[in-house]
């Protein structure tokens, strides 16, 4: 239990987790579809804002405030954050688009009764706006906490 308390006392880590929690909560409300509310969006990937971006930018901004913008710790955190955000908007988004195409093909095959296939998850990545919104949220949380 002491380990968890010590981790919570780490301001940079706390900033990251609070930013992530806020983003995940907001995502649940911004993902309401015409079919109604879905709990899956609170824990799932994709959507607005990007919780991955909020998480890493909350950490990076807190490291910058606490250790200086010219510190090696900030540089390491920034580079890691940029990789995560690029991945969220690039590779994972492309994988989601591929899943949409494969799901369409599967539906066409299922109509003919030839195969039975589970649908792939299409909402994997983020748009650049979702990534930016998540990053901005993380910085705001770090500003408040630090």
The residues pairing with 36 across neighbouring beta strands, listed in sequence order, are 33
pLDDT tens figures, 58-70: 999 999 999 999 9
Cβ neighbours around 7 below 10 Å, total:
11
What integer best gives the mean pLDDT of the chain? 79
pLDDT tens figures, 116-133: 555 555 555 677 778 777
In this prediction, residue 44 carries a pLDDT of 62
The Cα 25–Cα 101 span in angstroms is: 29
In this prediction, residue 45 carries a pLDDT of 63
The domain limits of the chain are: 2-90+125-145
Residue 38 banded pLDDT, cuts 50, 70, 90: low
Cβ neighbours around 48 below 10 Å, total:
19
pTM comes to 0.68
The Cα 70–Cα 97 span in angstroms is: 39
**DSSP assignment, residue 113?**
T
Share of the chain above pLDDT 90, in %: 28
In this prediction, residue 5 carries a pLDDT of 85
Average pLDDT over residues 102-112: 70
In terms of Cα–Cα distance, which of 125, 143, 129 is closest to 57? 143
In terms of Cα–Cα distance, which of 123, 120, 140, 143 is closest to 132? 140
């Amino acid at each position: 239990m002491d380990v968890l308390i010590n981790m919570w006392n780490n301001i940079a880590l706390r900033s990251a987790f609070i930013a992530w929690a806020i983003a995940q909560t907001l995502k649940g409300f911004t993902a309401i579809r015409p079919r109604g509310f879905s709990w899956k969006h609170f824990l799932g990937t994709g959507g607005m804002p990007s919780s991955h971006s909020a998480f890493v930018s909350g950490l990076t901004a807190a490291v910058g405030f606490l250790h200086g913008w010219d510190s090696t710790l900030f540089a390491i955190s920034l580079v890691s954050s940029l990789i995560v955000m690029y991945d969220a908007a690039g590779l994972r988004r492309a994988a989601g688009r591929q899943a949409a195409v494969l799901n369409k093909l599967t539906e066409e095959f299922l109509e003919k009764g030839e195969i039975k296939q589970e649908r792939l998850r299409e909402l994997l990545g983020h748009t650049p706006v979702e990534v930016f919104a998540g990053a901005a949220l993380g910085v705001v949380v770090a500003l408040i906490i630090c």
